[in-house]
Amino acid sequence: MIAYHFPPLAGSSGIQRTLRFVQHLPAFGWQPLVLSTHPRAYEKASDDLLADVPAGTVVRRAFALDTARHLQFAGRYLGWMARPDRWISWKFDAVRQGLKLIGEYKPDVIWSTYPIATAHVIASKLHCKTGIPWIADFRDPMAQDDYPIDLRTRQSYRAIEADAAAQARFCVFTTPGAARIYQQRYPAAASRMVVLENGYDEESFASAAPLSHGASAPAAGTRPLLMLHSGIVYPSERDPTQLFAALGRLQKAGTLSPADLRIRFRASVHDDLLQSLAQTHGAQDFIELCPAIPYREALAEMMAVDALLVMQASNCNAQIPAKLYEYLRAGKPILGLTDPDGDTAGVLRGAGLNDIARLDSANEIARVLPALARDWQQGKAVLPQTQAVQQASRRRRCEALAELLNEMRTV
């Protein structure tokens, strides 16, 4: 399993996918070997999740540098030194270490995971050198019409994904929309493209200590509804401008006030931007900005607040924030500010949740927010359906991966 996102990396929910596969695969007859980077390559590191790596798991860490931090001069570096990404230096020692692992343990399958594209470069090299079948875990789309912004980087992404479509036994995506995009882009490989969604880890929720963050114990009407957005607020893909515009408009109209609603942004990474936008639209009294906390504390907070907020712009219709599955398990009402035609809205509706408004429409948001606050005050807020929650567990997802691995073993 070739993965940049692995403990002790901190600050990315993407770490959960590989970590939980590593944790649960042995129960389904598969023993993972992990090939990752030296921790120096991580911008932030934490021991928070190291204990979740099962004892005895073989983890090799190849030499890697972050071009932007380690190879820059006077704040600049050459573009080719960061294509397809800033960790391309990982490739050289990773191929060497990977060949050593293959020689020692004779694995049946090579598995690599994006969003660090270099992982696929490494896997392709190892596959070509050894003939071991390869699963390319794309998660989300790589090259898009306007992403990456740098044309040469976008071209390198195109080359990597085309190579994976040609060489990998299976290409795996986390959403139906992403799979459809690639089935259309590479029709000859369409039958080898499958969906394996993200999920939540039940064991992590079970061990998350309860927190007091404004849970719904107090009588309705005695305090504002506390809604949480947990995680990064990307300025483009999760732009809260129209949310703040709607809040300012509702307060001026006397329809909704900070006494009715409080929105907490936890670990947004862009607090200054959020504060500025909120002040511009007169919504600053509705929001609070809070720093990052350890993973299990973040889960406990999700279970302690009154409602949860997910934001996803229409240019990400083929993507689903991994955090959404943890939101479902937290068992709280969820407000989805997203395109009703996108995959994120599809997951919400599949769980029986219909509080959805477009992220770029202040009018739609202004209609949904007061109704959600009123339903909560009256004890009528809709919660995720139990069956949908159970189906989204990481263990269920791991069982599906094991079935895919078993299929490769029999071919």
Q: Which amino acid is at 232?
A: I
Contacts of 106 (CB under 8 A, 6+ apart): none
Output the 3-class SS for 285-340. Answer: HHEEEECCCCHHHHHHHHHHCCEEEEEECHHHCCCCCCHHHHHHHHCCCEEEEECC
Q: Rounded to whole angstroms, how far apart are CA atoms 245 and 267?
A: 22
Q: Rounded to whole angstroms, how far apart are CA atoms 130 and 124?
A: 10
Which stretch of 65-69, 131-135, 205-209, 270-274 has the lowest confidence by average pLDDT?
Answer: 205-209
Helix (H, G, I), strand (E, B) or coil at 63: coil
User: In which band, very low, low, confident or very high, does the pLDDT at 212 lie, cut at 50, 70 and 90?
Assistant: low
Contact 117, 147 (CB under 8 A): no
Per-residue pLDDT tens digits for 31-53: 999 999 999 999 999 998 999 99
- Position 163 scores a pLDDT of 98
Contact 311, 238 (CB under 8 A): yes
The length of the chain, given as a count of residues: 411
Contacts of 258 (CB under 8 A, 6+ apart): 224, 251, 285, 286
Q: Rounded to whole angstroms, how far apart are CA atoms 369 and 355?
A: 9
Give whole-number Cα distances, 4 to 1, 81, 191, in Å: 10, 18, 28
User: In which band, very low, low, confident or very high, does the pLDDT at 381 lie, cut at 50, 70 and 90?
Assistant: very high
Average pLDDT over residues 103-116: 97
User: Is 70 exceeded by the pLDDT of residue 221?
Assistant: no
Per-residue pLDDT tens digits for 335-378: 999 999 999 999 999 999 999 999 999 999 999 999 999 999 99
The percentage of residues in the chain with a pLDDT greater than 70, rounded to a whole number, is 96
User: In which band, very low, low, confident or very high, does the pLDDT at 213 lie, cut at 50, 70 and 90?
Assistant: very low
**Residue written as tokens 């600050």?**
11
User: In which band, very low, low, confident or very high, does the pLDDT at 125 lie, cut at 50, 70 and 90?
Assistant: very high
Contact 357, 337 (CB under 8 A): yes
- Position 318 scores a pLDDT of 93
User: In which band, very low, low, confident or very high, does the pLDDT at 217 lie, cut at 50, 70 and 90?
Assistant: very low
- Position 78 scores a pLDDT of 87
- Position 173 scores a pLDDT of 97
User: In which band, very low, low, confident or very high, does the pLDDT at 222 lie, cut at 50, 70 and 90?
Assistant: confident
User: In which band, very low, low, confident or very high, does the pLDDT at 411 lie, cut at 50, 70 and 90?
Assistant: low
User: Is 90 exceeded by the pLDDT of residue 251?
Assistant: yes
Q: Rounded to whole angstroms, how far apart are CA atoms 309 and 365?
A: 12
User: Is 50 exceeded by the pLDDT of residue 104?
Assistant: yes
Q: Rounded to whole angstroms, how far apart are CA atoms 288 and 248?
A: 15
pTM greater than 0.85 = yes
Average pLDDT over residues 295-301: 94
The percentage of residues in the chain with a pLDDT greater than 90, rounded to a whole number, is 88
Per-residue pLDDT tens digits for 258-287: 999 999 999 999 999 999 999 999 999 999
- Position 13 scores a pLDDT of 78
Q: Rounded to whole angstroms, how far apart are CA atoms 226 and 285?
A: 13
